[in-house]
Amino acid sequence: MVNGRTARRLGALLLVVSAACGGCGDDGPASPDGGRDGGGFDSGIDAALLDDAGRDAGRDAAPDAATDAGADAATIDAGDADAGCEPDCPQGWCGDDGCGGDCLPCPDDQECAGDGTCCAPSGDRCEAGGTLCCDGTCYHESCCDGLEDQEQCEGGDECCGGVCTDGTCCRPMGGACDEAEQCCSRGCADDECCLPPGETCLASGECCSRFCELGACCGGPGDGCDGLEGDCCAGFACQSGQCCGSPGTWCDDENECCSGTCTDSSCVCRTLGEGCGSDVECCSGDCSDPGVCCQPDGEACNDGSDCCSGDCVDFVCS
């Protein structure tokens, strides 16, 4: 490309040529040997022009070469700086390594939290004590960004379980549970929220005991009880904090019977003189303080040992 300076020189040369030629014709002045002298003259002009173009090209190229050299040097310096950076990655850290890269990569289904740990986002599967949730809450094997069970709430939409009862987040009927306090019903059996004894029921399946009698849940064999009326179903008694079968109640084994004896699928009572822990174990319906089944006053006896009072008069306890 011809720059301004070169153009001016070309203009000056053309003026010189025009003056020298004067009224020359198209063929130009003849050379002494009969040829045309235009070739030599033109060659001189061309050489001058080439010389100027070369000098201009050199001047134009010099700044560009310097710029390119500087850029190359900067690139080399940057590479040297990166090469000298040592990543800082604490064990298990997934964040920035301090050198423009990352430390430990997280699994595809997890993300890196601000504290440098890999975690599962809300809605992803989790295990209590295993996979960390980014929001910190693993609810029923799913990460949740709401309130956990037993936390104070104003509405169900704040709770992971979707239920807020009496200002507390809790799990609904049928929800998975580990303890009764997690459930709105305050009853948990077989890892499922259910109704404890004494609560109103429509079907036995709603009750933790799986017994619903006369519209109320009641305790069966082995269910906990407080000794209150209705804790245990009909035919069962509360003994040592557990419901057990009274004599004559159907049973699978001796552990379901208050007497500890199950014969022919029926709880069998303890006879006079046998050890007992409560009145319900005894056929007589009375367990004396020493823990022996005995006859109450007014009942038949053979001797004083049959009577709770220790007195047998005319074959009657008195």
Q: Which of the 8 DSSP states describes residue 121?
A: P
Sequence ranges of the domains in the chain: 198-266, 269-318
Q: Is the pTM of this model over 0.75?
A: no
What are the pLDDT digits (tens) for 195-250? 998 899 999 999 998 899 989 999 888 888 887 777 899 889 888 888 999 888 88
3-state secondary structure of 5: helix
β-pairing verdict for 188-189 and 164-165? unpaired
pLDDT value of position 130? 59
In this predicted structure, what is the pLDDT of residue 281?
A: 87
Question: How confident is the prediction along the chain (318 residues), in pLDDT tens digits per residue?
Answer: 444 444 455 554 544 444 444 444 444 444 434 444 444 444 444 444 434 444 554 444 444 444 444 444 434 344 444 567 888 887 767 888 888 888 888 888 788 887 788 888 887 888 766 567 887 778 777 888 888 888 999 888 888 888 999 999 999 999 888 899 999 999 999 999 999 988 999 999 999 988 999 899 998 888 888 877 778 998 898 888 889 998 888 899 999 998 888 999 999 998 999 888 888 888 888 998 788 999 999 999 999 999 999 999 999 998
For the chain, how many helices (H) and strands (E)? Answer: 2, 16
* Proportion of the chain above pLDDT 70, given as a percent: 72
Buried b (16+ CB within 10 A) or exposed e, 172-211: eeebebeebebbbbbbbbeeebbbbbbbebeeeebbbbeb
Angle between helices 4-21 and 38-83 (to 10 degrees): 170
Per the CB < 8 A criterion, the answer to whether 95 and 111 are in contact is no
Maximum CA pair distance of the chain? 182
